[in-house]
Amino acid sequence: MGSHQSARSKSDIWLTPPAIIEAVGGPTSFDLDPCSLLNRPWPTAKEHYTPEDNGLFLPWFGRVWLNPPYSNPLVANFMARMAEHDHGIALVFARTETEVFHRFVWSAASGILFIRGRLNFHHIDGRPARKDGGAPSVLISYGSQDRDMLSVAPIEGTFVALRFQKFLLVSALSPTWAAALDEFFDGQEGPIHLQDLYRAFIDHPKTKHNAHWRDKLRQMLQRGRFERVAKGLWQRRRS
């Protein structure tokens, strides 16, 4: 829930501003917050683990919201669990040079949103703190779905993609659009919606210098190797 240590305080209990939660989907979009409080002024997920539960030792499931205690070694332990779980969004200080950042963010996360300015966290009773947290903050996505959501979140700042989907890494070497589409469909089950295809290819190297790449994708789909099974739904043509 944002029960973390501020850079200006020795307390581990500072709450995430509700607007941040709303900007990344709202509390009902997260299945679990493993770092919540027993008496919280607002929810951050459908289910919450409190200090009495000890979220480090309980199972994590679904989309996770994580604002861990920032004191060591707790921050490292929770970020290690988040990297292993690989589904959700974390909020920590932008201490990009630390061992925690190198081990569990740079090498494990799918994207980072560097928030402009500094956040004002909230007291345990929900009151906003008068002073900011004392350091810049970042939102960190784990998994491709949260990467896509974080990249378009209505939060002022700069988003940096860290990890391409597996098919992008492979198909970046493909010489043709047809080969790139084949690589994508090889990793899918069932029909694919055109909007999902657009989201998957938005960071593809082939789209970087092609303003009309969506038109190109539709053109390739219509050339006979694929078939439309419903409005907006495509699959590889069956032999």
- Total count of domains within the chain: 2
Residues 124, 181, single domain; the answer is: no
Residues whose CB is less than 8 angstroms from the CB of residue 136 and which lie 6 or more positions away in sequence, other chains included: 93, 94, 114, 115, 117, 118
Domain that holds residue 94: 18-161
The mean of the pLDDT values for the chain is: 84
pLDDT at 175: 67
- Give Cα 22 distance to the centre of its chain: 14
Tokens standing for residue 97: 């040079």
The pLDDT of residue 89 is above 50? yes
| Residue 134 belongs to a domain | yes
Residue 150 sits in the same domain as residue 33: yes
Q: Which tokens in the block code for residue 103?
A: 């081990």
Contact by Cβ (8 Å): 177, 225: no
176 and 120 within one domain: no
Q: Name the residue type at position 113.
A: L
**117 lies in some domain:** yes
- Residue 9's pLDDT is 45
Question: What is the pLDDT, as a whole number, of residue 48?
Answer: 95
Whether 234 and 196 have beta carbons less than 8 Å apart is answered as no
